[in-house]
């Protein structure tokens, strides 16, 4: 039986990915340390839902409560399950949190990443996919962001660790022939989302009649990407491990390609919207106005994100793009149900 390992299985994207993969014949092994970066009860609720669905669908599912930074545990996990495919989503998230807690990012996003990719190499994993971020584009202003753009100017430690992951993956692909695919996620939102991200922060504040802090005085734009659309793109990559580009030009290297089996893809929809418009859509769905508190730009943040999605579309074909109106409605419906509103 083919085995797929998903780290960060109790996280937002990991949870939805596990649910989607219940439709396959994989043995799905989920790993998560259930840390308290945000409300751990939400993570337990996700796991409970996963267990219920796996039973209903007779899916082959196992969960390990463990930390990617625990090298001995990771070694034993790989030796026991011998996964054919690894989707590494675990890591310390959050741009602003990286300013006050930088050690967490080095520990999880560098040391933890190494433990997973090194074991993937040692166990001859056929396809290693890992979470990167649109944050790696840093101070770039060439919209929409393309995988061919230079990303050597990160503006947060979080972004720097994700860029480091991409560099480590390339070196492992070059030296050991490991097929590596980096996934630059663009502002993923939807049901079961993270409480530290804008949709839940804004929704909670609106419903509690509390002011919303809006940075850069509202002049912020994000390429919000609905979770189902993200999962569809990721699952299509499972059977498409990165391959080498035999025509790669080392005299004029393209960051989007390589002579080794290493690729990076934007996972977004190239439809940036202003934060003010996003809040307006939330207000309409909640039938309640927000109190807005305009604030200056925060350190480590970027003004705008927008994904050029030509590469991923060329590889996996056309996928559904959920409209923001539809996505926000589904998110708000879940929020009200989950929080008993």
pLDDT digits (tens, 9 = 90+) for 55-67: 988 889 999 999 9
Over 70: is that where the pLDDT of 320 sits? Answer: yes
In a domain, 184, yes or no: yes
The CATH number linked to 237 is 3.40.50.720
Average pLDDT over residues 238-244: 97
Cα 270 from chain centre: 16
- Write down how long the chain is: 341
| Contact of 157 with 96, CB cutoff 8 Å | no
In a domain, 108, yes or no: yes
Over 90: is that where the pLDDT of 340 sits? Answer: no
Average pLDDT over residues 200-218: 95
In a domain, 133, yes or no: yes
Separation CA 272–CA 221 (nearest Å): 6
In a domain, 325, yes or no: no
The single residue of 158, 172, 226, 335 carrying the catalytic annotation is 158
Please give the pLDDT value at position 255: 92
Average pLDDT over residues 165-188: 98
In a domain, 62, yes or no: yes
Q: At what angle do helices 12-21 and 227-237 cross, to 10 degrees?
A: 60
Separation CA 135–CA 129 (nearest Å): 18
In a domain, 119, yes or no: yes
Strands annotated E in 39-185: 60-65, 85-88, 127-133, 180-185
What does the block give as tokens for 333?
A: 């419906």
State what percent of residues in the chain have pLDDT above 70.
100
Number of domains in the chain: 1
Per-residue pLDDT of 22-69, as tens digits, reads 999 999 999 999 999 999 999 999 999 999 999 988 889 999 999 999
Over 70: is that where the pLDDT of 78 sits? Answer: yes
Over 70: is that where the pLDDT of 272 sits? Answer: yes
In a domain, 81, yes or no: yes
In a domain, 91, yes or no: yes
Strands annotated E in the chain: 3-7, 27-32, 60-65, 85-88, 127-133, 180-185, 188-189, 211-214, 221-222, 225-226, 262-267, 273-274, 291-294
Over 80: is that where the pLDDT of 75 sits? Answer: yes
Per-residue pLDDT of 95-144, as tens digits, reads 888 989 999 999 999 999 999 999 999 999 999 999 999 999 998 889 99
| Contact of 117 with 164, CB cutoff 8 Å | no
For residue 228, give the nearest of 322, 309, 296, 125 by alpha carbon.
322
DSSP notation for 199-266: HHHHHHHHHTT-EEEEGGGG--EE--EEHHHHHHHHHHHTT------TT--TTS--TT--SSSEEEEE
Asked if 158 is an active-site residue, the reply is yes
Residue range of the domain that includes 157: 3-188+226-269+308-316
Over 90: is that where the pLDDT of 279 sits? Answer: yes
Average pLDDT over residues 78-88: 98
pTM over 0.75: yes
Q: Are strands 273-274 and 221-222 parallel, antiparallel or unpaired?
A: antiparallel
Average pLDDT over residues 139-162: 94
Residue 341's pLDDT band (boundaries 50, 70, 90)?
Answer: low
């Amino acid at each position: 039986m083919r085995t797929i390992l998903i780290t960060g299985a109790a996280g937002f994207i990991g949870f939805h990915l596990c649910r989607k993969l219940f439709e396959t014949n994989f043995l799905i092994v989920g790993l998560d340390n259930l840390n308290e970066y945000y409300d751990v009860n939400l993570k337990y609720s996700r796991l409970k839902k996963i267990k219920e669905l796996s039973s209903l669908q007779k899916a082959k599912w196992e969960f390990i409560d463990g930390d990617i930074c625990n090298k001995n545990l990771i070694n034993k996990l790989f030796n026991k399950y011998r996964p054919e495919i690894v989707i590494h989503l675990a890591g310390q998230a959050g741009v602003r949190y990286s300013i006050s807690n930088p050690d967490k990012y080095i520990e999880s996003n560098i040391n933890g990443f190494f433990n997973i990719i090194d074991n993937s190499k040692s166990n001859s994993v056929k396809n290693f996919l890992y979470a990167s971020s649109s944050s790696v584009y840093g101070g770039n202003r060439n919209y929409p962001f393309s995988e061919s753009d230079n990303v050597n100017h990160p503006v947060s430690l979080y972004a720097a660790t994700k860029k480091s992951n991409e560099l480590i993956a390339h070196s492992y692909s070059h030296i050991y022939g490991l097929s590596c695919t980096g996934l630059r996620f663009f502002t993923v939102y939807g049901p079961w989302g993270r409480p530290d991200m804008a949709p839940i922060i804004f929704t909670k504040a609106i419903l509690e009649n509390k002011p919303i802090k809006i940075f850069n005085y509202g002049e912020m734009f994000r390429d919000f990407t609905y979770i189902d659309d993200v999962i569809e793109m990721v699952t299509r990559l499972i059977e498409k491990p990165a391959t080498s580009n035999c025509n790669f030009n080392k005299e004029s290297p393209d960051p989007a390609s390589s002579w080794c089996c290493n690729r990076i893809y934007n996972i977004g929809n190239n439809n940036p919207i202003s934060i003010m418009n996003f809040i307006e859509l939330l207000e309409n769905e909640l039938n309640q106005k927000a109190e807005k508190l305009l604030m200056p730009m925060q350190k480590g943040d970027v003004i705008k994100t927008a994904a050029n999605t030509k590469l991923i579309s060329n590889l996996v074909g056309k996928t559904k793009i959920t409209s923001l109106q539809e996505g926000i409605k589904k998110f708000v419906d879940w929020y009200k149900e989950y929080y008993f509103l």
